[in-house]
Amino acid sequence: MKYLNKIATLFCSTALGLLAMTSCEGGDLYKIDSPDWIAAKIDSIENSKTTDEEVLEGMQEDVYTIGKTDFTSGWWSAFSKYYVIPDNQKWNAVFNLNINPSDNTYYKNFALVITNDEDRGATNYAEYGAFRFDATGDSATYNSQWGNLYFKYTNSSMLMAPDASNLDANVQKLGGKVTLTVDRSKADTFFIKITNGTVTKTYTQPYKLSNLNTDAANANIRCFLVPEGSYINFLQSNIEPIGGYTSANDKQPISMVLNNVPDEVNIGSDLNEAMANVSADITFEEGVVKNVPASELYFSAINDMNVEGEKTLVAIYNKTFKGELASTPIVANTKFNVVQQIESISITQQPTRTTYYTYESIATSDLVNRTMAFDPTGMEVVATYVSGKTAVIDNSKLTFSAVSAVPGTHTVTVSTNNGKTATVNVNVEASEEVGVVPTPTNIGAEDNSTAWWTAFSNDIQVPAGKTYVVSFKNYAGSANWNNFVVILRNAALTEYAVVRADNYGWGNGYSTALLSGGQSDWATWLAAMNGSDVTVYITNCNNGTADIQAVMTGTDNNLYTQYYIGLSTVDPNDLQFAFTVDGSHLIFNSAQAKSNHCFIRR
């Protein structure tokens, strides 16, 4: 049986012929030998056409899409090409910024990221900073730029004032055709301008960028764009990107990869409804990739959806890059299962771990309604189907309510996709604090010359239920990331997560974390971190997650805090941490550790 989505209506457009007519005003026809009043009138009209808009020279077509067109691209998940800007040159780009009309989250637009001449993730990769289109005027709470791009050099024609939910309807004004300028052509200035004609944001730094390349002879920088909850239709650039320009010619589809296909669908379900959340990454000629929603795909299922068992989903896409009918449609297929509907569930075996641990420092003392993730490891759930058949459900097909991070007994609700539930109880206890001193007691050269990922403390194992406390002097370098870094990994050195002092990190476990940094102005914070007293708390929560909290007393005598709560993918029986540095150095403080409940030299 074949199931087809609704086919989008195709519109034919008719070209209209326009007659070229000589104007009675504003042209050269009456300029020469005209009476003075006519010449003056013509000059007035010409002057009225003059604007402050920058004249873009040397622009070339570079047509491609950045981010998912259903507005689901998260931060640091979609990137433009790299545009390399030599010293004394200027980069201009033109693109359409598409803002989600249903989401007024102020920061869901795009950021310009400026780096040295290295690929992301390369050993010597370094960032000057990121410059987002929104502006709030409040650098302490709503960071719209970071790194060594300082707020004091920024101006915007529209300052936002987000509410407690980070919403501001003015974010919609950022959409439309955007012109971007990154200017290195002046001897004593570094300049950025982003404008769509309604909103203009600029950055005027009264000195040149320093050289972050390891090769001092290479003065190039790189720029790329990162959308979040939006997408970009790139149009033009005056600098050819790495990989070359993409032409504006229409392109035929070449291949397709399906996303979010459900593993199971209830018997008798409508195929279109069952696949409503599916999307596809379509690759067109010239390597252009676009993400399209289910509404633009045609689906069929082999065999009958009214019969239980494994099925083949066939998806067809028949449009060009510009939305015309493709000369040859493309096809992708995958498997899914048609199953009976669940009538009820019961828990027949309790989870392996039912006692979780939480720790509160100054960093999290004001965190409201803090929760912990439920760990279903070892739990067995049996489903009873409408036919009366019973079977164990894989825990990955269930959802679980969060656990309040307050000591006591808490009930967790286990749910199926069709809303059937059961409950299980877990206990939360306060974690025991243990002071430790890593070795060696000094990490990094005193002149802050130590390169990234070259100097480490020893690895210290954190048992379940413990919070290990480490105190040290932190000596910062010239950029936000030139500070302490905490690594969570197992005994085989497989990383769970890596987090930095400037409230940034990566790794599988990092993606689930709740994070916050109490920094005010980044430049002020960075200066205060050079010689700061820092205490870091690492908690093994015994639920497959770990928490990292940091309390920093700056050289300005101000208190700065930071936390990463719920770093996941952690094996509670195999969690260890280590410190590393990047253009900075640390001196661990055994005297401070002794003031804690226990003292262990590691």
b or e along 440-460 (b: 16 or more beta carbons within 10 Å of the residue's beta carbon)? eeebbeeebebebeebbbebb
Query: Which candidate, 550, 485, 481, 482, places its Cα nearest to that of 518?
Result: 550
Q: Examine the pLDDT at 328 and tell me if it is beyond 70.
A: yes
How is the beta sheet containing 60-66 ordered, strand by strand?
A: 60-66, 230-237, 90-99, 176-183, 190-195, 200-205, 154-156
Position 139 scores a pLDDT of: 62
Output the 3-class SS for 113-179.
Answer: EEECCCCCCCCCCCEEEEEECCCCCCCCCCCCEEECCCHHHEEECCCCCCCCCCECHHHHHHCEEEE
Region 61-78: what's the mean pLDDT? Answer: 93
**For residue 169, what pLDDT band results from cuts at 50, 70 and 90?**
very high
* CATH code for the domain of 173: 2.60.120
Encoded tokens for 5: 């989505």
Specify the amino acid at residue 186: K
- Residues 423 and 299 reside in one and the same domain: no
pTM confidence score: 0.62
- Residues 175 and 219 reside in one and the same domain: yes
- Residues 572 and 480 reside in one and the same domain: yes
**For residue 432, what pLDDT band results from cuts at 50, 70 and 90?**
very high
Is 248 contained in some domain? Answer: no
Is 4 contained in some domain? Answer: no
Is 580 contained in some domain? Answer: yes
Is 16 contained in some domain? Answer: no
- Residues 460 and 347 reside in one and the same domain: no
- Residues 576 and 459 reside in one and the same domain: yes
Cβ–Cβ < 8 Å for 351, 424 = yes
Region 97-124: what's the mean pLDDT? Answer: 95
From residue 162, alpha-carbon distances to 137, 229, 316 in Å are: 11, 16, 42
Q: Examine the pLDDT at 30 and tell me if it is beyond 50.
A: no
Position 429 scores a pLDDT of: 98
Q: Examine the pLDDT at 515 and tell me if it is beyond 60.
A: yes
- Residues 94 and 207 reside in one and the same domain: yes
- Residues 183 and 266 reside in one and the same domain: no
Q: What is the pLDDT of residues 337-363, one digit of tens each?
A: 999 999 999 999 999 999 999 999 999
Identify the weakest region by mean pLDDT among 137-146, 315-324, 427-436.
137-146
Question: To the nearest whole percent, how much of the chain has pLDDT over 90?
Answer: 76
Position 555 scores a pLDDT of: 97
Region 32-45: what's the mean pLDDT? Answer: 44
- Residues 328 and 364 reside in one and the same domain: no
* Overall number of domains in the chain: 4
Is 444 contained in some domain? Answer: yes
Is 115 contained in some domain? Answer: yes
Position 152 scores a pLDDT of: 85
Q: Examine the pLDDT at 584 and tell me if it is beyond 50.
A: yes
Domain closes at, from 278, 304, 339: 339
Region 540-548: what's the mean pLDDT? Answer: 98
- Residues 309 and 322 reside in one and the same domain: yes
Position 8 scores a pLDDT of: 34
Domain closes at, from 287, 308, 339: 339
Q: Examine the pLDDT at 602 and tell me if it is beyond 60.
A: no
**For residue 282, what pLDDT band results from cuts at 50, 70 and 90?**
very high
Position 267 scores a pLDDT of: 93
- Residues 214 and 187 reside in one and the same domain: yes
Q: Examine the pLDDT at 562 and tell me if it is beyond 80.
A: yes
Q: What is the pLDDT of residues 188-231, one digit of tens each?
A: 999 999 999 999 999 999 999 999 999 999 999 999 999 999 99
Is 118 contained in some domain? Answer: yes
Using a 10 angstrom Cβ sphere, with 0-12 exposed, 13-18 middle and 19 or more buried, the burial of residue 381 is buried
Is 3 contained in some domain? Answer: no
Position 141 scores a pLDDT of: 66
From residue 15, alpha-carbon distances to 319, 320, 324, 568 in Å are: 22, 21, 16, 57
Residue 368 CB coordination number (10 Å): 4
- Residues 441 and 414 reside in one and the same domain: no
- Residues 589 and 526 reside in one and the same domain: yes
Position 89 scores a pLDDT of: 96
Q: What mean pLDDT is reported for the chain?
A: 88
* CATH code for the domain of 358: 2.60.40.3630
Position 13 scores a pLDDT of: 33
In which domain, by residue range, is 72 found? 60-237
Domain closes at, from 188, 206, 237: 237
